[in-house]
A and B are shown apart, each in its own frame.
Chain A
Amino acid sequence: MSHATAETKAVLTVTINGRATEVPPGTTILQAARKNGVNVPTLCYLPKTHSIGSCRVCSVEVEGVASPVMSCNTPVADGMVVYTDTPKIVEFRKNMVEFILVNHPTDCPVCERSGECSLQNLTMQFGIQKPHWQTAEHKKVPVVDWGLIQYDRNLCIMCERCVYVCREVQGCAAYKVDGVGNAARINTVTGEKLDCDFCGQCISVCPVGALSSGMYFSARSWEVERTQTVCAHCGVGCTLYYNVKKGAVIRVTSRDSVGNNKGNLCARGRFGYEFVQSPQRMTSPLIKRGSGFEATDWDTALDFIAHNLKKYAGSKNAVAGLGSERDTNEDDYAFQKFFREALGSGNLENLANLHGPETASAVFKEFGDFPMNCTFGDVRRGGAFVFVGADGSNENPVLSNVVREAIFERGAEVALLYSKVATFLPSPKIKIVYDYDRLNKTLLALLDRLIDGVKKDGSFAGGAPVSDEFGRKVRSAAGSDLDDGLKAEVSEVVQLLRRRGDPVFFVGLEAQNHPQSKAIVRNVVNLAKITGGRVLLLREYCNSQGANDMGVAAGVLPGYAADARSELKEENELFGSAKAVIIADEDPLRRHPDYFEARAALDKAEFVAVFDQFYTQTAMSANVVLPTCTAAEMDGSFTNMEGRVQRVRKAVEPVGQSRPVWRIMADLAKRMGGDFGYNSVSDVSAEIAAKVPMYKDVEKDASYAGYALKSVQTQELKLETPAEMKDLKGSKIMAILPDHSLFSLGVYTDYCPSLGALRGKHYADFHVGGMPYVDLNPEDAARCGCSGDSTLLFKHPKKEWKARVCINPGVRVGSMRVPEELDKYARVRVVGTGGEADCANSAGMEGK
């Protein structure tokens, strides 16, 4: 971060070691030196936070100043003359390291940081044989266990990097310096056990071995091989490095200088790698014999599938494909090609599109060919951020890091719109908690206030003109039945948009999966157009975007050309009229919005083939199951939520006999009488580049390529008639909504025990087979006669389940939150201990 700006001069001259150079105002001496190739040693310096200034190792001599000057936090003044390596300065720097060594034991042989330790390197660089000074007593203190993070105070040099990164990059401020003088230590702010999102940033910036992961790192730094690749969890697409020793992933690291995440990772990215080589991985193909499965070889399994598929090859759309948001673009491309070319079927879909009808299409039409007009670069330049139906910090944690850059560097502000109290750090003042069924109404009210403001205070820079007619339409659609509190909150958002400018609207999972998603997205687009802002669709999985780009979607070919072959399906219907089904790396029984519909669709199918890494519920229902690779075991690419196509690289050998999906599809195609001509994954990538216009430049840059994003095509404002929804206000019907927990979101988290250990108690219980929980607002709980210990009985025509009540004031009155997996059991009657309530789920909302 930069320092002060001089008011007068545009360029300052500084002479470093006799060489004059020009720098812009606000440049620190350290930045100026490094820019000119002059190396100044540092220890506590972190470019992504404000300068800390604790280590005093970066001192330099400035002419006219008697004492050494810290180069990291002293801005260049015009005419400054700097020397970085005078004998006096070198001696002072050495003294500073000697001060650290007064307390720091030289236990390097038993320290896991050895070999990548900044202190070790400086001690060597300065040639320090033994500490110059010492204190009277020196007692070892026990290592503090903070769960996944452990703190060894004996090794801590009090550089404060962890404190700064937690506060300034995570907005979390979980740490503080506790105590004074030599007895000071790093502690949690509360003094209790660490209670945070466990992003592990503190570990990654610790220059010594003081902070480390509880997952004991059993290797020396020089023994590991680091493979740069893309995170397999959410749609942010963070660049990370799998650290591999003897074929096993033992750690994940990142680099500040590499990737659009700038080295930031969340708990899922940093600690959620155990799924790759989980003992629960499937290792060989399985064919159903009687009631159980039998292991078999690949040829037998592939022949078996081909034999069955041939029965349906002639009839249109008789075979349905459910593709994956977790597979690479290459996998998805080969998957859809198999259906369209080998089977002549356009009956393809991915699950994201089954949650929210026409979300994607509404946005596609609006922005031309492409689904969005916002990159992370635009986010970094943003001034006002409005999260619509997004619990961003849980769903896409590192996107929040990008937002925080704008907050900390430029004072940007955030507004959260969600159906419960959403989390974002640092906590913003504007948090609108709406009734789930009134999300679109809330947006209309916001639009109405905004249009009012435009009439009064004029248009926004770059904003679309608003006609009186449109204003009237919005007014009549908005109606007048919002309560006064909500109206006041909506006005605060309007003021925020005015105050800060450069708005960015995030459309989160709840908005995308909403029954009225089309109208919701349309209204967000209207807001963006009027304010000259941008829209970003937040994606749940690492390749949710790519799956659509590759045409694993009904009605669209790769690159979004219309697919005439596609049969018209009833909204949300799984598999259409298909008789056979292929499901690649997807678990509809867990992820489809309606479990019973998915169950019925699978039961109806005559033949089901499932390709997956794990033995899922869906796999159990299959006739044949093939083991597939995770992204860590293969090459390919993912496309993140901004449309950035990023290289996925193989870090470890495939587990068991698992294979990538693209190869399975090519092998099946051969058995069906075709040949895709794929010998390696690069053949698939090359075909994508050749056939999909928006991917044509991807191959030119092997590491990062984003397809060109188009700006908003038209300034026209439109209103969408929302899908009918029952108004729940004042009724007994409550909405059952999924809880998106940071540590349990996504399929892979189930197979990462370290993440499991971080889940809150009610999540943790549930994930090891305990009773699920339901979060209720105290008011609703009282109405149903429930307390924190009672059990609620959920009665579905086909299934009954019990849940433990947790009282949570953050939950909106009239709704309840259940684990993500459970809101699929919809349309139920809830029987409390003292009363009953009808419930509706988030997908249907019909109520009973």
Chain B
Amino acid sequence: MKALFSTWKDKLVDNRGKPPEAWADVPAKLPQAFDSKRKITAFMGWGGIVILDEPYDVVEMAYKYAGALQKSSCAKCFPCRVGTKVGEDVFAKILGGRGGADDLKQLESLYDSISKNSKCGIGQLGPEPLVQSLQYFRGDYEDYISGKRKPSGFYYPYKMTAPCTSACPTGMDIPLYIEKVKEGDFAGSLKTIRNASPMASTLGRACFHPCENNCRRDNVDKSISICKIKRFAWDYEDQHEVEKPSNPNKHSRPEKVAVIGAGPSGLSCAYYLALQGFRPTVFEKLPTVGGAAWTGIPQYRIPKEVMLREVEFIRDMGVEIKFNVEFGKAETFGSLRQKGYKAFFLATGGDISKDMGVEGEKDNIPGVYGGIQILKDITYNVTKDFIQNPDVRPHPVPVPKKVLVVGAGNTAMDCVRSYIRLGCDDVNIVYRRTKKEMPADPHEVRESEDEGVKYNFLLAPTKLVRENGKLAGLECQKMELGPPDESGRRKPVAVKGSEHVMTADMVISAIGQDCDINYLKEEAAIQTTKWRTIVADEETFQTAVPDVFAGGDVVSGPLNLVTAVGHARRAAQGMGQFLRGERVAPADAQIMEKMIAGIGAYDRDEVVPQAKGWPRKEMPICDRKDKIGSFKEVELGYSLEEVVEESSRCMRCYIVGMACVPADGGGA
């Protein structure tokens, strides 16, 4: 990207005085506009200063930034709490034309002391651009001191976030919830988590935790066990007598809202709608809550009795759930609008297993299953003894002598690990690439190997083989890795003449899912993609039909829990604006969050000045006999001492990013 000036990532690019065509590139990625009406001219943050263009006022921005640091200071260490106030006051003096050369010198020593001694990122990383401004914009400061320059009065929206938070699709305040666990304030921790997602247990058990791949502690020794700390906070509430939060706004507004689908996205959206006082009703096709988290994630990863308690909390906040209602059939846009529903959130997910595209697949051969369908029946069977639900009538789940699971994503992992637990001795993965390209969580892969799953790489299915009308096996073809495809992974290429039959009495297709959006026929204005997903605004999740919003897998395509939950909270905001008759648009803070994610809150190459060698506390898991023989939960949860210890490793890498918006239109 071209910019007038940049110190981003310690690389000085100074194009001042040069014609724009001669400008050198800067290692930062920023949008040119804040929103449709306002432009951005500068950015100040933990990684330095970037000035895109005139007009800008570095001294004014530094003052505002110093103030933002003071306002972001949690007050829990001396240098940041007091020092950033001292600094802000000095900047104010300079901006008011009362400064002197001594003040500039004092600022340098002050911010040096703050950055070296502070507890967390606000104090450690915040001073960097301020010190750089003193270094590279000395003239601007001197102009203020001599009275030549007066404040410009620009608008400086800012946002405090952290690398982990920025990587989290829900924007969860991770350092805060970890700190609260460290402090033993488990209720406070859970409250923080619930500001971003009401599904602390589900996420704490089954999230793929992009936060942990963006954890600065990984630059020191090993990332924090962020995901599982969240689980502890929820488990603590579940296991102790804790006063659960209530919803003071419960049903304080008359508007009824229809949420379609009781999966993580639908439930989360309904939760945030209820918190705003609306009356959400969730319409669910199945007789159970949880959507894909119930049917697709096996009992040993998320015990369903636990999920019921988690959902009970969401209901208590003012959410009604109606089961066995298929949208598009039993209820439609029209019927619900007629019943007074003022808005819709479509969160119908993607629960149709993709076809393998092999010969014989359309022939309904007994023994051939879709991954999602078989997982659903396994869950229903496993839980039927202790979760009474008269509407659940599961199909019997046969246990074959040998099962082949085609695919290598998390659904495939769930299938193979479930069959290990059902007592099948010969459980196989068939995958057309190699272990390196497997999309499944590496932890899941390791666990499955440990449990005895066999892997067959570079093998693609071509034909289902029958004998006497029964399934006898799967004909496969050997593959080789060719050049990378559009996903960046090397594309498998078939080896001619390598077809051979793998015997099996069960074949499960787990190569992905499609969404069922046939109900959209009624609302032709809603746009869809060629992958049969719904088109919605990236920030507000509004579709082309104003009272219809959509989120989760049905928008992103079958992806993951946390993305679906992240959509939900933002969609609930947009829906709230719509229902209150406000303009449907993201808040400035949300725009800043996105801007920071774009510039990259986490730098894998950063050298973090922290003592190494504090090992990560891994979560204890159950005995091997419980893994093979039963659907008992594998991960046992941290003990209190373990979780406090692990939380203490967190460095609270808070950062502040600020933009300069010269013309404050007060929103576009």
Contacts and interface: CB of A to CB of B under 8 A. Distances in A.
A binds B: yes
A480 interface: no
A56 B79 contact: yes
A7 interface: yes
Interface string B637-650: 00111001100110
30 contacts: A3-B614, A3-B645, A4-B614, A7-B615, A59-B117, A62-B611, A64-B612, A67-B115, A67-B609, A68-B116, A69-B610, A69-B611, A77-B611, A78-B613, A95-B117, A99-B79, A134-B86, A135-B89, A164-B183, A173-B185, A177-B74, A179-B75, A181-B72, A181-B75, A181-B84, A184-B74, A408-B184, A408-B640, A429-B241, A431-B241
Contacts of B92: 136
Contacts of B118: 56
Contacts of A167: 183-185
Contacts of A5: 615
A53 interface: yes
Contacts of B86: 102, 133-135
A51 B113 CA distance: 22
B611 A409 contact: no
Given A77-B612, A168-B184, A181-B84, A54 B239 contact: no
A845 B74 CA distance: 57
Interface centre among B106, B116, B239, B649, by most chain A C-beta atoms within 10 angstroms, is B116
A344 interface: no
Contacts of B481: none
Contacts of A78: 613
A26 to B, nearest CB: 8
B78 interface: yes
Interface in A52-107: 53-56, 59, 62, 64-70, 73-78, 80, 92, 95-96, 99-100, 102-103
B82 A53 contact: no
A50 interface: yes
Interface in A20-73: 50-51, 53-56, 59, 62, 64-70, 73
Return the 4 tightest CB-CB contacts between A and B, nearest first.
A77-B613, A184-B75, A182-B85, A411-B640
B178 to A, nearest CB: 13
Interface string A163-190: 0100110000100010111101000000
Contacts of A234: none
A41 B19 CA distance: 56
A3 B648 contact: yes
A677 interface: no
Contacts of B106: 133
Nearest to A55: B78
Grouping DSSP codes into helix (H, G, I), strand (E, B) and loop, the A interface class, with mixed when no group exceeds half, is loop
A59 B116 CA distance: 10
Interface of B: 70-79, 81-86, 89, 92-93, 106, 110, 113, 115-119, 124, 182-185, 239-242, 607, 609-615, 617, 639-641, 644-645, 648-649
Given A50-B644, A99-B83, A134-B86, A429 B611 contact: no
Given A50-B184, A158-B76, A182-B75, 7 more contacts: A65-B609, A67-B116, A99-B78, A136-B93, A177-B74, A181-B71, A431-B241
A390 B92 CA distance: 60
Interface in A415-430: 426-429
Contact of B77 (A54, A69, A80): A54
A160 interface: yes
A177 B76 contact: yes
Contacts of B182: 50
Nearest to A168: B184
Nearest to B89: A136
A6 B77 CA distance: 28
A96 B77 CA distance: 10
A710 interface: no
Contacts of A407: 640
B222 to A, nearest CB: 11
Given A54-B119, A65-B609, A180 B72 contact: yes
Contacts of A426: 240
A135 B85 contact: yes
Contacts of B641: 409-411
A96 B81 contact: no
B70 A181 contact: yes
A82 B17 CA distance: 48
Given A68-B116, A136-B92, A167-B183, A428 B240 contact: yes
Contacts of B644: 50
Contacts of A80: 611, 613
Given A96-B79, A411-B641, A427-B240, A68 B613 contact: no
A597 B617 CA distance: 63
Given A67-B124, A99-B82, A133-B110, A177 B117 contact: no
B599 to A, nearest CB: 24
A157 interface: yes
Interface centre among A7, A56, A80, by most chain B C-beta atoms within 10 angstroms, is A56
B609 A56 contact: no
Given A4-B614, A50-B182, A173-B185, A56 B77 contact: yes
Interface in A322-357: none
A409 B75 CA distance: 27
Contacts of B71: 180-181
A606 B21 CA distance: 117
Given A4-B645, A426-B240, A181 B613 contact: no
Interface centre among B117, B242, B617, B645, by most chain A C-beta atoms within 10 angstroms, is B117
Contact of B611 (A65, A180, A182): A65
A137 B115 CA distance: 24
B390 to A, nearest CB: 23
Contacts of B184: 50, 167-168, 173, 408
Given A50-B182, A181-B70, A77 B614 contact: yes
Contacts of B607: 66
A183 to B, nearest CB: 8
Contacts of B83: 99, 133
Contact of B81 (A7, A95, A184, A411): A184
A120 to B, nearest CB: 16
Contacts of B124: 67
B380 to A, nearest CB: 27
Contacts of B613: 6, 75-78, 80
Given A4-B615, A167-B185, A410-B641, A66 B609 contact: yes
A411 B639 contact: yes
Contacts of B240: 426-429
Contact of B73 (A4, A7, A173, A181): A181
Given A65-B610, A99-B83, A100-B82, A428 B73 contact: no
A157 to B, nearest CB: 7
Interface centre among A51, A158, A407, by most chain B C-beta atoms within 10 angstroms, is A158
Contact of A92 (B84, B116, B185, B648): B116
B81 A158 contact: yes
Given A50-B182, A50-B644, A77-B612, A182 B239 contact: no
A53 B77 contact: yes
A427 B187 CA distance: 13
A410 B92 CA distance: 50
Given A62-B611, A173-B185, A427-B241, A102 B82 contact: yes
Nearest to B69: A181
Contacts of B645: 3-4
Contacts of B610: 65, 67, 69
